[in-house]
Amino acid sequence: MTIQHSQCGGADHFSRRTLLKAAGGLPWLTPLAAQLAAAAAADKSGAPAKSVIVLWMQGGPSQLETFDPHPGKMIGGDTRRISTSAAGVEISHLMPSTAEVMNRIALLRGVTSKEGDHERATYNMKTGYRPDPTLLHPAIGAVMCHELFSTGVEIPRHVSIFPNQWPAHGGFLGNKYDAFKMDDPLGDLPDLPRRVADERFAQRRKDLDILERSFTRGRRSDLEQNRTLHLSTIDKAITMMNSEQIQAFNIEDAPQSLRQDFGDTPFGRGCLCAVQLIETGVRCVEVTLSGWDSHINNHELQSGRAAELDPAFSALVRLLEERNLLKSTVVLCGGEFGRTPKINPAGGRDHWPHGFSVALAGGGIRGGACIGETDPAGSKVTPDIAGSVGIADIHATIYQTLGIDYHHMYDTPIGRPMAISEGKPIAGILA
Amino acid sequence: MWLRNLLFLGICGIAVSAVVGGLVVPQRPPQVAEIAHPLDESQQNEIQLVADRVDEQFQQVWSDAGLEIALPADELTQIRRISLGLTGTVPSLEEIRVLESRPAGDRLSWWLSKTFADRRYGDFVAERLRRAYVGVENGPFLIYRGRRFLTWLSDQLMENRRYDQLTRELISDNGLWTDAPAVNFVTATIDQDGTQRPDPVKLAGRVTRAFLATRLDCVQCHDDNMGGDLKQSDFHELASFFREAENSFVGIRDDTKAIYEYQYLYDDQTTTVASQVPFNQDLLQEGATERERLANWVTHPENRPFARAIINRIWAITTGKPLIEPVDSIPLSGSFETGEYPPGLEPLADDFIANGFDLQRLIRVIVATKAFQRDSQANFEITAAHEETWAAYPVTRLRPEQVIGAIQQAAALKTLDAESHILTQLINFGEHNDFLKRYGDAGEDEFAEQGGTIPQRLLMMNGNLVKERTKDNLLRNSATRLAILSPDPAAAVEVAFLTTLTRRPNQAEADYFVERLRDDSLNPRQKVEDLIWALLNSSEFAWNH
């Protein structure tokens, strides 16, 4: 494998104005903001985005109860339609707060895929590739950390909040690019506080060095560098434990009113934490909201999920904008597939990869754009659907906004060249 | 009434005492010496002859490449490799003491006999095979019984069932997923959202990878455009053998009228696909059902990919690294002489086929080879080439199950096995699952080379399990008992090394840690706790070597 590994780093990748603002006006944020803001200069307009937040709707949200309602039609169910801040775009009445910020959000209503199984479709959406038995493809966050340089970040640059069973992973790029997994950002991260006093911990580290010297003696000289990464991960872990940046993982100090804006649900807190992490220099944060798999009682289940998503998504967009991070952060909100137009005998909707919705916002995305539509009768499937886009196209679009050459070919471990994305950017939603 | 209450309280008291007593007081003296016997001399010689044939090929590779060869590893290191590979944990102090009380000469053979009689062997190796056969997901609700399947696989291993017979059952058995657990190989592929039938495509992919180490699924969507000669039709013709399998109220059965249709790339219409095997067609015989025909072909003694596939996997399970990588991709034809096959593979296949597909014999041969017994350290510079050709034993990452198994065993002194107290087993089971969740399961692709990660290091340094397993606790932790019961610091250091790393400290380590334990300014229990913490956090603990 001849993958060129570039270290993630570079103060250039932080939003300087954001950091200035954060340092001055939001005192609970990490000191890194102030530190980096000192070196800040004005944002270059048109500069590529630097970060991605993936709001992952595990289970497959219904397009009909979120972004593509068809009230009054046989397929529409109980959902009504409301107007939004984007001219001509109407969404479900279950998403009123999101409707208010729709002029910052682009909608893809004609997303299609060939994967109707949760695991395979999740893989497809998170990596841009369908599952391939010979190769484990990297997720967006892993590619970003591999491709984009960073410095000054002492915490993992790829984070998954409420990771569920299929979190974003490094694939063939290696598990050092896996997302760092965490749960509710209330309280300390587990495993971060050291269990003994500083002095005793330092002594333990010295004890460990004695053992490491024995182990490396007479073994491969590149064992640590090319194989175990044992000491380097210990060092990084200790750096993280000692870093003030770990405050970004905790939202307890955020103002209560701000937490309320996000809904103060686990998912809402995860979204608020995502903003803090992005602000600290993390490249990609995935926040999962599970429970969309509504094979029974569709409306009740989808309403409950939407009630949790709506305040969090809209507050996330607003807060990113307030902190001048929206231009540099791409936000994706979507799940692995949609739900069937037909309501089944149990009042549920089943899996439907033939036409569903994905929302995108932020860096390089044209707010208020809306592409594609599903058939009101619910009968049309790929490729007849209007404005149809594939999963790989969404990935190519995001890489384009990040300034990543998505045509770039990786030499994979099986010796087969593979493009970062085989999709095509969706011109209609690019700013 | 008061008499009845008293009687009830008495019974409760006895029950509690029994439970607590079982935890505190050893229930049995070490019996391990009596449960296993090494092979007799002639059997051992026969194994060694096969191992020598394997080593001849390794020797040729080392000579041709001009590679120096590492010396044999010490006995305890080899014992650690066997335990980690076949039971997923390190030897207990109790086991090491018994081993060292045996006469030298047949200890490896005895250790293997003891291992094959230990339920941990069946359970651990079954889990490795289960991943290859059906993956790690929970599978379709109710109609896939993963736990039952795993137990059945473990039973087969404990009985040392012929591997060809076991495989035939997996591919062709009928019945309910509970009564005939082998059918879970088929039920694991049932699509709940679609046809509710077993999926021939998934099954074809599994069969070729798991039993033939051939990635025929690469041509599922189009002909091989990487220089191979496999066609898309090869894959679907093989999938067609599973067309008859259906799920019914009596479990898996065969509907002999079923057909398999597929729309090939560039075709406008679907085609009815007849069953055919992609190579060695002359070995395909008639059978009662299509699945039986396929099972007989897969396991035919002349169908050598079948033997090569399990040999490569068992080599990987036993040592941590396959002979040929990836573990499920071996060229269909070629030879050692012309470079397609690694040293050892063909001699092992000859012996495996000639001796009734005997997995335990295969493991004994592997362990008897010089390749298995090489040290991973040497007084010359070890390079990647040494590890790749087994001129030096390759350092490989322990799977998460091995890490947690080793932590639990290291903290126990006594052997943790199926004979351990039920409460101990329950606690360990809970800890095991929590640890895997946080450390990260390696999934199906468990032999891929991966380095450590930050969350893993944080878990080991600050996590609850290591804390619980090193803190002051007289009942469950070796650290406390070492601090209290060791006659002197040197003895404590030696036992700490034996229980965690299965070796004694070298002079520099002994000098350093004995001095640390003698430091009067520290709490004695905390000093041992710190020592065990460092040992558990070392590279040596987390890697097979």
**Model confidence band, residue B222 (pLDDT cutoffs 50, 70, 90):** confident
Radius of gyration (C-alpha) of chain A in whole angstroms: 22
Q: Are B507 and B494 in contact (CB under 8 A)?
A: no
A153 and chain B: CB distance < 8 Å anywhere?
A: no
Nearest residue to B259 via CA among B267, B251, B270: B270
B539 and chain A: CB distance < 8 Å anywhere?
A: yes
Q: For chain A, how many helices (H) and strands (E)?
A: 12, 15
Radius of gyration (C-alpha) of chain B in whole angstroms: 26
Q: Are B312 and B214 in contact (CB under 8 A)?
A: no
Residue A396 identity: A
**Statement: residue B21 has pLDDT above 70:** no
Looking at residue A6, what DSSP letter applies?
P
B451 and chain A: CB distance < 8 Å anywhere?
A: yes
Q: Do B454 and A210 touch (CB under 8 A)?
A: no
A residues 331-360 lying closer than 8 A (beta carbon) to B? 350-351
A217 and chain B: CB distance < 8 Å anywhere?
A: yes
Q: Each residue of B326-346: pLDDT tens digit? A: 899 899 999 999 999 999 999
A88 and chain B: CB distance < 8 Å anywhere?
A: no
**Model confidence band, residue B227 (pLDDT cutoffs 50, 70, 90):** low
Tokens of A279: 């602000």
Distance (Å, whole) CA B162 – CA B168: 10
Residue B117, min C-alpha distance to chain A (Å): 33
B residues 418-447 lying closer than 8 A (beta carbon) to A? 438, 440, 445
pLDDT at B13: 56
Distance (Å, whole) CA A285 – CA A55: 8
Q: Do A175 and B451 touch (CB under 8 A)?
A: yes
A202 and chain B: CB distance < 8 Å anywhere?
A: no
Q: Are A103 and A84 in contact (CB under 8 A)?
A: yes
Give the helix ranges, DSSP H, for B396-502.
400-410, 422-439, 454-462, 464-470, 478-485, 489-501
Q: Each residue of B257-266: pLDDT tens digit? A: 999 999 888 8
Nearest residue to A259 via CA among A184, A345, A163, A207: A184
Q: Do A211 and B535 touch (CB under 8 A)?
A: yes
Q: Are A55 and A313 in contact (CB under 8 A)?
A: yes
Tokens of A57: 């709707």
Distance (Å, whole) CA B526 – CA B477: 12
Q: Tell me the CB-side half-sphere exposure of residue A343, using CA atoms within 13 A.
A: 18
Average pLDDT (B431-442) is 81
Question: What was the ipTM of the complex prediction?
Answer: 0.88
Tokens of B474: 């007289």
Tokens of B126: 């079954």
Q: Do A229 and B451 touch (CB under 8 A)?
A: yes
Distance (Å, whole) CA B184 – CA B170: 8
Which of B461, B508, B539 shows the shortest C-beta gap to A228? B539
Dihedral sign of CA atoms B489, B492, B497, B503 in order: positive
Distance (Å, whole) CA B175 – CA B196: 16
Burial class from Cβ neighbours inside 10 Å (0-12, 13-18, 19+) for residue A134 reads middle
Residue B442 vs residue B413, higher pLDDT: B413
Give, for all 431 residues of chain A, the pLDDT tens digit. Answer: 323 333 333 333 333 333 333 443 344 444 444 444 433 333 445 789 999 999 999 999 999 999 999 998 888 888 999 999 999 999 999 999 999 999 999 999 999 998 888 888 999 999 999 987 678 899 999 999 999 988 899 999 999 999 888 889 999 998 888 899 899 999 778 899 889 999 999 999 999 999 999 999 999 988 888 778 888 889 999 999 999 999 999 999 999 999 999 999 999 999 999 999 999 999 999 999 999 999 889 999 999 999 999 999 999 999 999 999 999 999 999 999 999 998 888 899 988 998 999 999 999 999 999 999 888 887 766 666 788 999 999 999 999 999 999 999 998 877 789 999 999 999 999 98
Q: Each residue of B379-416: pLDDT tens digit? A: 999 999 999 999 999 999 999 999 999 999 998 888 88
Angle between helices B400-410 and B524-536 (to 10 degrees): 160
CB atoms within 10 A of CB B161: 17
Distance (Å, whole) CA A357 – CA A340: 13
Which of B456, B534, B540 shows the shortest C-beta gap to A207? B534
Distance (Å, whole) CA B242 – CA A137: 29
pLDDT at B455: 86
Q: Determine the residue of chain B that is closest to A413 in CA distance.
A: B326
Q: Determine the residue of chain A that is closest to B468 in CA distance.
A: A195
Residue entry with tokens 């004979």: B419
Which of B215, B449, B467 shows the shortest C-beta gap to A134? B215
pLDDT at B190: 86
Cα B136 to chain centroid, rounded: 14
Residue A382 identity: T
**Are β-strands A90-92 and A81-83 bridged in parallel, bridged antiparallel, or unpaired?**
antiparallel
Give the 3-state secondary structure of A111-130: EECCCCCHHHHHHHHHHCCC
What does the angle CA B310 – CA B315 – CA B321 come to, to the nearest 5 degrees?
120
Residue B112, min C-alpha distance to chain A (Å): 27
Residue entry with tokens 């009228």: B257
Q: Each residue of B478-501: pLDDT tens digit? A: 778 888 888 899 999 999 999 999
Q: Each residue of B247-258: pLDDT tens digit? A: 988 999 999 899
**Are β-strands A51-57 and A329-335 bridged in parallel, bridged antiparallel, or unpaired?**
parallel
CB burial of A214-237 (b: ≥16 within 10 Å; e: otherwise) equals bbbebbbeebbeebbbbbbbbebb
**Are β-strands A284-289 and A51-57 bridged in parallel, bridged antiparallel, or unpaired?**
parallel
Residue B395, min C-alpha distance to chain A (Å): 8
Q: Do A208 and B526 touch (CB under 8 A)?
A: no
Q: Do A210 and B438 touch (CB under 8 A)?
A: no
The CA–CA distances, whole Å, from A101 to A369, B20, B52 equal 12, 62, 74
Above pLDDT 70, what percent of chain B?
Answer: 91
Give the helix ranges, DSSP H, for A170-265.
198-216, 223, 230-242, 256-261
Q: Do A228 and B452 touch (CB under 8 A)?
A: yes
**Model confidence band, residue B353 (pLDDT cutoffs 50, 70, 90):** very high
Nearest residue to B445 via CA among A375, A429, A97, A135: A135
Task: Annotate B39-90 with DSSP letters as a single string.
Answer: --HHHHHHHHHHHHHHHHHHHHHHHHHT---PPBPPHHHHHHHHHHHHHSSP
Q: What is the dihedral of CA B496, B498, B500, B505, to 10 degrees?
A: 70
CB atoms within 10 A of CB B254: 18
Q: Do A175 and B539 touch (CB under 8 A)?
A: no
Helix (H) / strand (E) containing A81: strand A81-83
Average pLDDT (B158-164) is 97
Which of A210, A212, A237 shows the shortest C-beta gap to B454? A237
The CA–CA distances, whole Å, from A335 to A309, B255, B306 equal 12, 38, 40
A114 and chain B: CB distance < 8 Å anywhere?
A: no
Q: Do B457 and A236 touch (CB under 8 A)?
A: yes
Looking at residue A108, what DSSP letter applies?
E
pTM over 0.90: no
The CA–CA distances, whole Å, from B116 to B36, B42, B107, B159, B367 equal 9, 20, 14, 9, 13
Residue entry with tokens 């991709």: B329
B residues 459-478 lying closer than 8 A (beta carbon) to A? 459, 461-464, 467
A215 and chain B: CB distance < 8 Å anywhere?
A: yes
Q: Are B74 and B106 in contact (CB under 8 A)?
A: no
**Statement: residue B173 has pLDDT above 50:** yes
**Model confidence band, residue B187 (pLDDT cutoffs 50, 70, 90):** very high
pLDDT at A28: 43
